[in-house]
């Protein structure tokens, strides 16, 4: 099997140049209560903890703000110390940055595949388009890879992207 060499792709784009469908798809997939909480979604964390105790698998309870703080300051390692630091930085991020800036930064720093960082690189790589022009279905498939971007490919995410599209409709998008 021939593997292509690793090549990092990245380009920051302002939120105004990111399709509302893509913004909505990511929120629907990763943090449905994004606009209702102040950095921590206690309800989602409780559901994740309950399901974990029962041995099931569910989406994590981390909000976009928690994921952004982790990505910006801590990387992928897990520790009690990191969680404690994250716990103090999340409310600060919410207060200082606000929801729109948090969403913009998240979309621009999250990994969307091997060496693919930020929404513009993701749209160009996976769909051959820009973040501004990605359509609703493409947006849902892209959002569907976020829990495991190194293992998932948008073209294989039809079932989960269908659920994301359903959530978007339920949320009024």
User: Could you report the per-residue pLDDT of 61-106, keeping only the tens digit for each?
Assistant: 789 999 999 989 887 777 788 888 889 999 999 999 999 999 999 9
Q: How confident is the model over 129-158, as a mean pLDDT?
A: 96
Could you report how far apart the first and last alpha carbons of the chain are, in Å? 42
Lowest mean pLDDT among 38-47, 78-87, 93-102, 128-137: 38-47
Asked if pLDDT for residue 52 goes beyond 60, the answer is no
Q: Where are the beta strands (DSSP E) in the chain?
A: 9-10, 111-113, 116-117
Going by C-alpha positions, the residue among 113, 154, 162 that lies closest to residue 134 is: 154
pLDDT of res. 51: 57
Asked if pLDDT for residue 4 goes beyond 70, the answer is no
Residue 65: helix, strand or coil by DSSP?
Answer: helix
Residue 19's pLDDT band (boundaries 50, 70, 90)? very high
**pTM, full prediction:** 0.86
Q: Average pLDDT, whole number, for the chain?
A: 89
User: Mind listing the domains of the chain with CATH numbers?
Assistant: 9-170 (1.10.3810.10)
Asked if pLDDT for residue 55 goes beyond 60, the answer is no
pLDDT of res. 78: 74
Reading the block at residue 130, the tokens are 């820009």
Asked if pLDDT for residue 23 goes beyond 80, the answer is yes
SS3 readout for the chain: CCCCCCCCEECCCCHHHCCHHHHHHHHHHHCCCCCCCCCCCHHHHHHHHHHHHCCCCCCCCCCHHHHHHHHHHHCCCCCHHHHHHHHHHHHHHHHHHHHHHHHHHHHHHCEEECCEECHHHHHHHHHCCCCCCCCHHHHHHHHHHCCCCCCCCHHHCHHHHHHHHHHHHHCCC
């Amino acid at each position: 099997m021939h593997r292509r060499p690793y090549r990092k792709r990245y380009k920051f784009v302002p939120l105004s140049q990111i399709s509302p469908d893509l913004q909505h798809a990511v929120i629907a997939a990763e943090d449905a209560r994004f606009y209702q909480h102040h950095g921590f979604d206690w309800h989602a964390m409780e559901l994740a903890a309950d399901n974990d105790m029962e041995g099931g698998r569910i989406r994590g309870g981390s909000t976009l703000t928690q994921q952004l703080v982790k990505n910006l300051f801590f990387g992928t390692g897990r520790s009690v110390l990191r969680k404690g630091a994250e716990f103090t930085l999340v409310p600060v991020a919410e207060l200082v940055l606000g929801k729109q800036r948090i969403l913009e930064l998240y979309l621009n720093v999250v990994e969307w595949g091997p060496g693919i960082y930020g929404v513009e690189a993701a749209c160009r790589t996976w769909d051959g388009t820009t973040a501004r022009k990605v359509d609703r279905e493409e947006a849902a498939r892209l959002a569907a890879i976020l829990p495991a971007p190194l293992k998932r490919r948008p073209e294989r995410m039809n079932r989960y992207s269908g659920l994301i599209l359903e959530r978007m409709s339920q949320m009024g998008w």
